[in-house]
Amino acid sequence: MSSIIPWLVFAGATSGLPIARLKHIAMRRIIGWLFLIILTTTAHFVMIEETPLIRMIGLCCILFAAMKGLIYAEWANSRKLNFKQYFIFAFLWFGMDPESFAVRRNGLNWRHDLAIGLILMLIGTLGAWIVWNMEWRHIFIMFLPMSIGFHFGALRVLKGILRYAGFPVRTLFPNPLKIHGIGDFWSRRWNVGYSQMLQRLVGRPIDSMIGPRAAIMAVFITSGLLHEIAITLPCRSGYGLPTLYFIVHGLLTLIEKTLNRPLGKIPTLLAVILPMPWLFPPTFQTEVIEKCLGLFF
């Protein structure tokens, strides 16, 4: 990977500090999004000859870092994090809530998170080993143990460590088996920090200008475009499929709102799982997911 990539990551992660100094929130948003586009475009061309796996890692790191800067600039008005607090938020946590790092607290529960996280990391690693050696290559079967080990395991361990240090961070992936519908899944069960970030950066501004229904679709479309950067751009194939996946889920969320009734657990799980080949197109499955499994086993 090019030696410039770590510098692009650093630039993206720390961009929130100077952007937050701008007086007008609209200017912060414009500059933040432009900087994200510039960073990811630069990374794309710098890594043009790299493998899809390396390109995915580089682009995801830069995208994630730039989003840290964006959300901090949106959050910071009269409130600010000092350098140490900002460093921990930007580089040592996968969530998107700067508020959790503003004040340290005593007596936070952390042992349960640490224990559950370590157990799930073990289960995920064992599951991934079985999937690799049994040569099961269906996307959901490959993704499931990796997700258990990282999303529900490693990130839970990290939560426990930060809570031990006094930072009241929240679980990023609460139990998805408790879902009631599509809206509940994306807002409260899957990557809560990411959902809150999109709501703050996209949903609220669009809601105030156009209305709540447009805001919902804007959030899902933006999520689709960000996943294009993380998934299809590294492989340079499958363009549009992740966006289609999120558009469908946005429409299902609007249907739930219109009917005032969630889809229910089983229909929601089917809606998430069955179109996963749209979210993870074939080239990404073979060149990234399979390669990730192969690196460990």
pLDDT tens-digit map of 212-234? 999 999 999 999 999 999 999 99
pLDDT at 1: 61
Nearest to 121 by CA among 158, 91, 86: 158
Residue 268 lies in a domain: yes
Residues whose CB is less than 8 angstroms from the CB of residue 26 and which lie 6 or more positions away in sequence, other chains included: none
- Are residues 126 and 81 part of one domain? no
Residue 12 lies in a domain: yes
- Are residues 12 and 34 part of one domain? yes
Residue 64 lies in a domain: yes
- Are residues 80 and 55 part of one domain? yes
Of 75, 104, 133, at which residue does a domain stop? Answer: 104
- At residue 152 the predicted structure's pLDDT band, cuts being 50, 70 and 90, is very high
Residue 133 lies in a domain: yes
- Are residues 241 and 143 part of one domain? no
CA distance 167 to 273: 34
pLDDT at 77: 81
Residue 42 lies in a domain: yes
Domain that holds residue 259: 173-289
pLDDT tens-digit map of 250-282? 999 999 999 999 999 999 999 999 999 999 999
- Are residues 97 and 17 part of one domain? yes
pLDDT tens-digit map of 72-124? 999 998 789 999 999 999 999 999 999 999 999 999 999 999 999 999 999 99
- Are residues 110 and 99 part of one domain? no
Compute the average pLDDT of residues 175-188: 92
The count of structural domains within the chain is: 3
DSSP string, the chain: --THHHHHHHHHHHTHHHHTT-S-HHHHHHHHHHHHHHHHHHHHHHTTTS-HHHHHHHHHHHHHHHHHHHHHHHH-SS----HHHHHHHHHS-S---GGGGTS--SS---HHHHHHHHHHHHHHHHHHHHHHHHT---HHHHHHHHHHHIIIIIHHHHHHHHHHTT-----SS--GGG--SHHHIIIIIS-HHHHHHHIIIIIHHHHHHT-HHHHHHHHHHHHHHHHIIIIIHHHT--TTHHHHHHHHHHHHHHHHHHHTS---HHHHHHHHHTTHHHHS-HHHIIIIIHHHHHHH-
Averaged pLDDT of the chain: 94
| pTM recorded for the entire structure | 0.93
pLDDT at 53: 95
- Are residues 196 and 267 part of one domain? yes
Burial of 292 (0-12, 13-18, 19+ CB in 10 A): middle
Residue 263 lies in a domain: yes
Residue 125 lies in a domain: yes
- Are residues 99 and 19 part of one domain? yes
Residue 297 lies in a domain: no
- Are residues 187 and 134 part of one domain? no
Of 104, 119, 139, at which residue does a domain stop? Answer: 104
Of 59, 75, 104, at which residue does a domain stop? Answer: 104
pLDDT tens-digit map of 30-82? 999 999 999 999 999 999 999 999 999 999 999 999 999 999 999 998 789 99
Q: What's the gap between Cα 33 and its chain centre?
A: 16
